[in-house]
Amino acid sequence: MISARKVLIVLILTIISTSYGCKVSYSFSGASISQAVHSFSVQYFQNRAALVQPGLSQSITDALIDKCRAQTSLKYINGIGDVNFEGEISDYNTRPLTVSADATAATNRFTITVKVKFTNAVDPDNSYDQSFTGYEDYNSNLDLSAVEKDLSDKIVVKIVEDIFNKAFVNW
């Protein structure tokens, strides 16, 4: 007859052997980052769009740094980190979206596109080179200069969220 002690030992050994080498990582942000990654860097995002908005390059660069600091435990460095973001603003425009009965624009779409090269030196398979686009619609009766700052801020938040998720959230 098998003793309770032998059963307990076999059970403990089974649990240890099946969990040996397994690593479970939890994060409230949803980020899944290798423990071998310790630092991140963000290079200044140059504005190469046909229409250049002063301050947008700094806004995107700072927003991405702030997002990584807030959502990860990685250390920010000025050089090149274990993971590195670099890129440029490639498009910044407004276009008519819908036309009213009198053939004038009723709604305009304000769009920003950012091209990003993300390099993961620890796990190169997670690196990417991709463009991210965000937009906000606004009433064409409003002058763009009156709503530009507010719309731009909203778009930057969306784009930075997409850049971060593509780099760190492996769903």
pLDDT confidence of residue 25: 39
Residues 112, 133 contacting (CB under 8 angstroms): yes
pLDDT confidence of residue 106: 84
Tell me the domain boundaries of the chain.
Answer: 34-168
Which tokens in the block code for residue 143? 């002058």
34-168: CATH topology is: Double Stranded RNA Binding Domain (3.30.160)
pLDDT confidence of residue 52: 85
Per-residue pLDDT of the chain (171 residues; tens, 9 = 90+): 566 676 666 656 555 554 444 433 334 445 778 899 999 999 999 999 988 888 999 999 999 999 999 999 999 999 999 999 999 999 999 999 877 667 677 899 999 999 999 999 999 999 999 999 999 999 988 998 999 999 999 999 999 999 999 999 965
pLDDT confidence of residue 23: 39
pLDDT confidence of residue 98: 75
Residues 76, 116 contacting (CB under 8 angstroms): no
Query: Hunting for tokens 């980190």 — which residue is that?
Result: 81
Instruction: Give the closest residue to 109 by CA, choosing from 120, 121, 99, 119.
Output: 99
Which tokens in the block code for residue 84? 């590195």
pLDDT confidence of residue 31: 73
pLDDT confidence of residue 24: 38
